[in-house]
Amino acid sequence: MTVQDFNNCVDNYSDGVYRFIVKNIGHEADAQDIVQTAFEKLWVNREKVEPTKVKSYLFTIAYHNMIDHIRKQKNNTTTHNFDDVKTQVSLHDNNELKQILLSAINDLNPTQKSLILLKDYEGYSYQEIGEIMDLSESQVRVYLHRARLILKGKLIHLKKMSA
Amino acid sequence: MKINTQNYETYFLLYLDNELTASEQKEVELFISENPIYKNELDIIKQTILEVDEVLFQDKVTLYRLEAMEASLNPVFKNKLYLKDVKIVDGYFTKNKIRSYSAIAALFILYFGYNSIQKQVVQSNMALNKGTSKSQLANTPVLIINKAINTNKQATYPLITNAKAGKNLAVFVTPQRENLNTPMNNTNNPNSLISEVSSADVILNINSQDIASAAVSQLANEQSTAVAQSNVVNNTTPSLNEMNTEDPDRGIYIANFEIDGDKLRGLSRRIGAFLKRNKSDKDK
């Protein structure tokens, strides 16, 4: 990978990786740090990474960094929790249905949330998501379906409440 | 395995995640058309899919490898990007110039300040001469000659200064309005001069008979000189300019500035003497 290739990767993938992380943890500065770390690792391993796998490599690194970050956050009670995430993410959307959905997503666990985000935002296949999240394809399917059904149940419940 | 009322939810999820083959997708679509009551179920699951939200990473510059980019640039192209050296022009007021200008200004200030102080000292001395105390005057023998001159000025003009036997004898002419009509033809006689010396105005100013008599006796011993001086006084009283014993104006004018020529002359004399001495030493 040349310098130009690397900088092209920055142009093409940094927004997606950042969106994936910031929607998960809801903290912009931490998300930026995670993205930066991912690209630094890509630069270090630029000769080993296949050009076609660069995107999933970046998401993989970012995802694992994010999991580490979340674990640290759980140990540290003074830092923000997912209630903050809920607030911050909901600020981006004014649509009522979207807000309900985002609120429901914030109640999911990090793995389910990452599955939803990778599938809906990035359009990854189950296999690719499995590679990124270090899961089998069947695990991705089961976890993802379970997450969708949770969201579906919340949507029906909220619609009944509003009706 | 085909889609049915037991597994339709899984098929719907796979259908929406685009994980079914083309034939499987057609089966799902056929199932919905055959069972429209499940269409609402598919729509609700469809609502769980997030719409793409545009989020931008603002600090891409921090991710770029600029150093590597620079290193990979063509050296010729890179040289064109560098700023060319430009000759640095010093400001007009450099440190040395400021120092020299301030030194010149300080010299001018000192010179004019010294001159003004000198003038003040002269003026204060003149004022003191008018109103000096008795004890101060006792140390200096002063002979004041009242002369009736046709002028309204009341200033005291120093006329003659003699230094003899370590004592200074100052002779002043004090014009008096009251004596304007007094004849002036008796100045040739030393006695009349002495009588004039002891006149009321002089005694009022000096108030010391001894000093006046001492001065007068000294003057009487040198009658010829006194006569000559009184002649001079007699001849010059109408026009005091002729008795001006001050040196001619030796001021040197450079533009608007005046430099005291006497001081320069003294300096030039000293330098000349020094050079002559050196020359004579060399000749020896």
> What's the length of chain A?
163
State the residue for tokens 């029906």: A156
> What's the length of chain B?
284
pLDDT at res. B187: 44
**Which residues of A lie inside 8 Å of B (Cβ-Cβ)?**
2-4, 6-7, 10-11, 14-15, 17-19, 22-23, 32, 35-36, 39, 43, 92-93, 97-98, 101, 105, 116-117, 119-121, 123, 125-126, 141, 144-145, 148-149, 151-152, 155-156
CB contact under 8 Å between B65 and A3, yes or no, is yes
Taking alpha carbons only, the member of B198, B207, B202 closest to residue B133 is: B207
From the list A36, A119, A145, the residue facing B63 with the nearest CB is A36
pLDDT grade, residue B206 (50/70/90)?
Answer: very low
pLDDT in tens, B134-159: 445 445 444 444 444 444 444 444 44
Percent of chain B at pLDDT > 90 equals: 13
From the list A6, A15, A101, the residue facing B50 with the nearest CB is A101
pLDDT mean over B193-221: 48
In chain A, the number of structural domains is 1
Domain that holds residue A66: 3-162
Range in B93-107, B162-176, B253-267 with the lowest mean pLDDT: B162-176
What is the edge-to-edge ordering of all strands in the sheet holding B157-164?
A: B142-147, B167-175, B157-164
Q: What CATH number is attached to the domain comprising A26? A: 1.20.140.160
From the list A11, A105, A121, the residue facing B52 with the nearest CB is A121
Taking alpha carbons only, the member of A149, A114, A109, A110 closest to residue A128 is: A114
Side-chain-side CA neighbours of A117 within 13 Å: the count stands at: 28
**Residue B263: pLDDT over 90:** no
Which has more confidence, A10 or B164? A10
Rounded to 10 degrees, the C-alpha dihedral B73/B75/B81/B87 comes to 160
Q: What does the alpha-carbon distance between residue A145 and residue B14 come to, in Å, rounded to a whole number?
A: 9
pLDDT in tens, B8-62: 989 999 999 999 999 999 999 999 999 889 998 899 899 888 888 888 888 888 8
pLDDT at res. A61: 94
**Residue B228: pLDDT over 70:** no
pLDDT at res. B217: 56
Q: How far is CA A30 from the centre of its chain?
A: 13
Contacts of A22 (CB under 8 A, 6+ apart): A28, A31, B55
Judge whether B181 is closer than 8 Å to chain A, CB to CB. no
pLDDT at res. B185: 44
From the list A6, A15, A98, the residue facing B51 with the nearest CB is A98
pLDDT at res. B218: 57
CB contact under 8 Å between B48 and A7, yes or no, is no
Rounded average pLDDT per 10-residue block, chain A, 163 residues = 87 92 89 93 91 91 93 66 41 63 86 92 92 93 93 83 70
Instruction: Return the number of CB contacts < 8 Å for A and B.
Output: 80
Q: What does the alpha-carbon distance between residue A131 and residue A111 come to, in Å, rounded to a whole number?
A: 13
pLDDT at res. B248: 60
Surface-to-core class of residue B273, CB atoms within 10 Å of its CB (0-12 exposed, 13-18 middle, 19+ buried) = exposed
pLDDT at res. B255: 66
Kindly report the pTM of this predicted structure.
0.50
**Residue B198: pLDDT over 50:** no
pLDDT mean over B57-72: 81
| Mean pLDDT over the full length of chain B | 68
